[in-house]
Amino acid sequence: MNKATRRTVIAGNWKMNMTPSQTKEFIKELAPMVAGKDDCDIVLCVPFVDIAPAVEAAKGTNIKVGAENVHFAKNGAYTGEISAEMLNECGAEYVVIGHSERRQYFGETNETVNQRVKAALEGGLKVILCVGELLAEREQGITEEIVSLQTKIALLDVTAEQLKNVIIAYEPVWAIGTGKTATPEQADEVCGIIRGVIAKLYSAEAAEAFTVQYGGSMNAKNAAELLSKVNVDGGLIGGASLKTADFTVIVDAAQ
């Protein structure tokens, strides 16, 4: 395994936090703190209404902007939904798909995750695909099966060329927003399992170049150790991405 062949991505997932004006202020404050720190991609995935202000505020900086979800249809009678084309035109570069909160509260399934992944890729977006087991599944010893299945179904009909615009965030559901972090060894193990699935589905080369992040209570204190693991190529960060100082420490840990 050679970590140097992969791009490290540090991405914030703001969830339902921050208004447009707060977004502009946050990025104005963050930009000088992370300027020139180019050993990782720095992404903020923000609520839909914050995308345009975020893109505007991030102009000329090394901060990229993403969305937190996308609908699978190109357009049509889907009241309240947002398409890949809309996100693209607003300047979003990335989109989070299949986050456990979407699966848990909004009926997202592996199948709809797959449809969204394909729509996002066809619409020119980069995908941060989330997979991860529940606590009960870990205790039953089926973590490998669960994340493998989620990964395989999400990537159905995704070509090797399209895969270059996909990264996966391994997010154990029991670690999200709970303050309970997976140990670096647990994170490394499952990120490695996901890489193995990519190798089987595509090729060893594709797997070697593929970015797998860890997410779930990653913070300023534990980021360096998690990111030091050979299979952990970045982080998807919720709570700690809402504070410029904490997020900057995590970016620093990836340098």
Q: Report the catalytic residues.
A: 99, 171
CA distances from 92 to 14, 47, 218, 248 (A): 14, 11, 24, 21
217 makes contact with ligand PGA (CB under 6 A): yes
- The radius of gyration of the chain from alpha carbons, rounded to an integer in Å, stands at 17
| Phi, then psi, of 169 in degrees rounded to 5 | -105, 120
217: left (phi over 0), alpha (psi -120 to 50) or beta: left
Q: Which of 49, 157, 177, 200 binds ligand PGA (CB under 6 A)?
A: 177
Supply the minimum distance, in Å, between the C-beta of residue 63 and ligand PGA: 18
Q: For residue 202, give the DSSP letter.
A: T
Supply the minimum distance, in Å, between the C-beta of residue 216 and ligand PGA: 5
Q: Which of 55, 193, 198, 237 binds ligand PGA (CB under 6 A)?
A: 237
> 210 is written with which tokens?
């593929």
3 state SS of 96 = strand
Please identify, among the stretches 137-145, 149-157, 203-211, 230-238, the one whose residues bind ligand PGA according to the rule CB under 6 A: 230-238
Of residues 28 and 125, the one with the C-beta less far from ligand PGA: 125
Supply the minimum distance, in Å, between the C-beta of residue 134 and ligand PGA: 14
Binding residues vs ligand PGA (CB under 6 A): 13, 171, 176-177, 215-218, 236-240
